[in-house]
């Protein structure tokens, strides 16, 4: 229970990053109001999220409120990802798959996803689809490990890192919208990927959950997996050894399963490096940053 109260009265860095991102997206929606579907609803949700996040640290003590202070990103990050379906293409309507394809072809002389058809094997496809689908759980497992070990300072920093990395990748999709080789090269792939038992079901599930997204560049799967591996090596060594297998398999799967171009993966590594290098500085800056309306709210709550 004490762990759940760790964030009581604290406006943490991850929450500040989240507020800044909601504001940026709200501005993007305003500038593209007539072109974005459900613009009024999305804008209202972003404003509501900003208010809720700023109030949450100083809401009255309650088990549900305490839980939300710690785990609110479980709900916020997926919403911010799913809404990209309505935003990216309407803000930047020209897909840049052709550019990314040319870069891959320049580097390798072939289209990597087409070349990888030479080594396709149903058991390998099955394993890699399972590894790819584990993406959503790998950071969460590290969060749970840190939480259960009562390492809340490390939990807080890793939360900031993951939120920071995700939101940078989301903004990257606006700059370089691309569908990925499973769509752009569909006519050139000689046959569909086939696994054993779960591959097709997992592909259909991911497609139904994510919809058609311009989320190829940079590879968020690569960036978030690298970040999780890096901080597992620092904070949870035993888990890191597991990630050496699963994490590297996941990164390879991004190209093998035709979700990403190789340049997307390279960009994902660069994004992870950028977050790791800039993370301490940005974290300190955010912790020192005071949101004036929020500070006034804090003083009112304390007076009560």
Distance CA 43, CA 235 (A): 38
| Chain segment 101-110, per-residue pLDDT in tens | 999 999 999 9
| Chain segment 100-145, per-residue pLDDT in tens | 999 999 999 999 999 999 999 999 999 999 999 999 899 999 999 9
Confidence of residue 24 (pLDDT cuts 50, 70, 90): very high
Distance CA 239, CA 259 (A): 26
**What dihedral do alpha carbons 129, 93, 76, 135 form, nearest 10°?**
10
pLDDT of residue 156: 96
Distance CA 205, CA 126 (A): 15
| Residue 71 scores a pLDDT above 70 | yes
User: Tokens 């890699």 map to which residue?
Assistant: 128
| Residue 291 scores a pLDDT above 80 | no
Distance CA 210, CA 221 (A): 14
What's the whole-model pTM score?
A: 0.93
Distance CA 110, CA 38 (A): 41
């Amino acid at each position: 229970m004490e762990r759940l109260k760790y964030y009581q009265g604290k406006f943490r860095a991850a929450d500040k990053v989240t507020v800044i991102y909601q504001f940026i997206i709200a501005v993007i929606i305003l500038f593209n109001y007539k072109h974005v579907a459900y613009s009024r609803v999305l804008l209202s949700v972003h404003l509501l999220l900003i208010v809720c996040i700023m109030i949450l640290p100083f809401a009255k003590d309650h088990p549900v409120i305490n839980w939300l202070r710690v785990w609110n990103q479980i709900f916020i990050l997926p919403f911010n990802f799913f809404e990209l379906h309505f935003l990216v293409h309407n803000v930047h309507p020209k897909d840049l798959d052709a550019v990314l394809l040319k870069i891959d072809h320049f580097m390798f002389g072939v289209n990597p996803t087409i070349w990888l058809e030479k080594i396709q094997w149903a058991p390998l496809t099955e394993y890699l689809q399972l590894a790819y689908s584990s993406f959503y759980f790998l950071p969460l497992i590290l969060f749970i490990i840190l939480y259960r070990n009562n390492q809340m300072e490390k939990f807080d920093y890793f939360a900031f890192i993951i939120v920071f990395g995700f939101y940078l990748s989301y903004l990257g999709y606006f700059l370089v919208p691309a569908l990925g080789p499973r769509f752009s090269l569909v006519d050139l792939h000689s046959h569909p990927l086939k696994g054993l038992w779960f591959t097709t079901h997992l592909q259909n599930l991911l497609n139904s959950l994510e919809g058609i997204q311009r989320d190829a560049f940079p590879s968020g799967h690569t960036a978030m997996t690298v970040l999780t591996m890096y901080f597992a090596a620092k904070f949870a060594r035993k888990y890191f050894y597991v990630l050496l297998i699963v994490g590297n398999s996941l990164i390879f799967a991004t190209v093998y399963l035709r979700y990403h171009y190789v340049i997307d993966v390279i960009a994902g590594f660069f994004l992870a490096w950028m977050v790791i290098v800039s993370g301490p500085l940005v974290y300190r800056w955010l912790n020192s940053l005071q949101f004036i309306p929020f500070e006034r709210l804090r003083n009112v709550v304390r007076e009560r």
